[in-house]
Structure 1
Amino acid sequence: MPGNVDKRYVLSFTTGGLLAREAAVLAPIFNEQHDWAKVRDLAVSENLLQARTRSTSVRRVRATIERLSALSDTELGILEELTASERSHLMWAAACRFYKLVGEFAEEVLRERFLTLAGTVSYDDYDSFYRAKALWHDELGAVSDQSYKKLRQVLFRMMVEAGLVNDHGGIEPTLVTARVGELLSSQNPSDIRFFPTRETH
């Protein structure tokens, strides 16, 4: 049913980009505290993400925690020891899990265009995808033009930071390491579906 509240998209991914560096700062604190509210309060009060203003700190901490909350305890436990590339891949998966719109774009557009040898993904591809989704989701149609452009910009920035797309929109085949691949494949269905790769598990 169009506009069904239970299926509304979360559209709060307009802060920062992939936030992989920020995740590496906050995940170890959660592993000690096991309380996201405490992590948030500590991160903001001590400006752990080194934001220039308190309001920026609040937004960045909130966005990072949203994504980290989509990870399992096992994933949170090893996040700090991952390489930069591995951490970026895991945080891309986290964004895809938490923000359904991002996950659907990754699976239905990014991966599909890779598998069909399209080679690139563009703003036009996103616009077509978004318009199709908006037919069934009133909240997408209610987004202002400025917010729409920001959502699109941040999504593409995340893909670039994750190494999935280059600055010119060229799709970069992804090689996921064994330990990250194991984490992604433990999901049902496998989170490998969010990546431009021919691997299925």
Structure 2
Amino acid sequence: MVAVARYSLSFTVGTLLTREAGIAVPLYFEKRDWKAVRARLVDGNLLQARTTSSAARLAREAIQRLTVFTDLELELLVEASPRERSLLLWVAACRRYTFIGEFAEEVVRERYLLLTPSLSYGDFDSFVSGKALWHPELAELKDSTVKKLRATVFRMLAEAGLLVGGQIQQAVLSERVREALDARQPSDVRFLPVRVPTEAVQ
């Protein structure tokens, strides 16, 4: 069997981290140094965490996701409407975590395109079971951990406006967000439930 990189599954520290991004990104543009941003977030408890350790974890998680963006994308994130920002931060999670990105592309977007827009916990569990064939680290997870991962991903989808009442919602992309996502090869539109010409996402 070909070796496959282990999934990073540390995303349960937070959901989309919209508030945290709104605090961290302006700090980044002051010095363009993520290490300095992290220190300011933690030392000043700017994320209002209950303990220093939780502040450090939250700051680390937020910055790990934000570093997947280019400076131009970060500028767009600052200027974005709440709707645009939530979609961009969902894409950030998909970029940062291969596990989330594959679920978004192979399950969420696929079900939307097949006109079967319902999404259940069972769909997530089936995805995990299928991936465990290639990722033994998934087979080693406790049931409680799988439930936590599942709950976090579903909350992210809900915060991004992509899941309402168990039904997948079409992502409504502004022209500037679509252009930003299409700048990647392959296009990061693939992480969203949206109908676009096939050649635009491959």
TM-score interval (norm. to shorter): over 0.9
Q: Is the 8 A contact 1:164 1:173 kept in 2?
A: yes
1:146-179 deviation per Cα after TM superposition (whole angstroms, max 9, x unaligned) = 221111110000000000001x211111111111
Matched residue, 1:121: 119
- Tell me the secondary structure at the aligned position of residue 114 of structure 1: helix
2:102 aligned partner: 104
- Residues 16, 60 of structure 1: 8 Å contact kept: yes
Shift of 1:81: 1.5
Rounded Cα–Cα distance in structure 2 between residues aligned with 1:19 and 1:43:
14
Structure 2: unaligned runs, 5 residues or longer: none
Q: Report deviation, 1:77.
A: 2.1
Q: Show CA shifts across 1:38-68 (max 9, x none).
A: 1111101111111222222122111111110
Task: Give me the whole-angstrom Cα distance separating, in 2, the residues matched to 1:157 and 1:145.
Answer: 18
Question: Does the Cα contact within 8 Å between 1:36 and 1:65 map onto a contact in 2?
Answer: yes
Q: Report the Cα distance in structure 2 between the residues aligned to 1:13 and 1:162, rounded to whole angstroms.
A: 15
1:144 offset after TM fit, Å?
2.1
Instruction: State the 1:7 CA deviation.
Output: 1.2
- Find out whether 1:181 has 2:148 as its counterpart: no
- Report the 3-state secondary structure (helix = DSSP H, G, I; strand = E; otherwise coil) of the residue aligned with 1:14: helix
**Percent of residue pairs bearing the same amino acid type:** 49
Matched length: 198
How far is 1:69 from its partner? Answer: 1.0
CA offset at residue 145 of structure 1? 2.0
Q: 1:32: how far off?
A: 2.0
CA distance in 1, matches of 2:12, 2:142: 13
* CA distance in 2 between partners of 1:124 and 1:151 (Å): 13
**Equivalent residue runs for 1:160-171 within 5 Å:** 160-166=158-164, 168-171=165-168
Residue 182 of structure 1 deviates from its aligned partner by 0.7
Q: Write the distance in 2 (CA, Å) between the matches of 1:145 and 1:58.
A: 27
Instruction: Report the counterpart of residue 144 of structure 1 in structure 2.
Output: 142
Q: Tell me the TM-score normalized by structure 1.
A: 0.94
Q: Which structure carries more relative contact order (alpha carbon 8 Å, separation 6+)?
A: 1
Residue of structure 2 equivalent to 1:71 = 69
- Contact residue 15 and residue 63 of structure 1 kept, 8 A: yes
Query: Gaps spanning 5+ residues in structure 1: where?
Result: none
Matched, 1:132 2:147: no
1:156 match: 154
Q: 1:147 & 1:59 partners in 2: Cα distance?
A: 18
> Distance between the aligned counterparts of 2:61 and 2:159, measured in 1?
16
Query: Is the 8 Å Cα contact of residues 28 and 77 (structure 1) preserved in structure 2?
Result: no
Deviation at 1:76, TM superposition (A): 1.2
- Is the CA contact 1:17–1:154 (under 8 Å) kept in the aligned structure 2? yes
TM-score, with structure 2 as normaliser: 0.93
Residue 53 of structure 1: aligned partner: 51
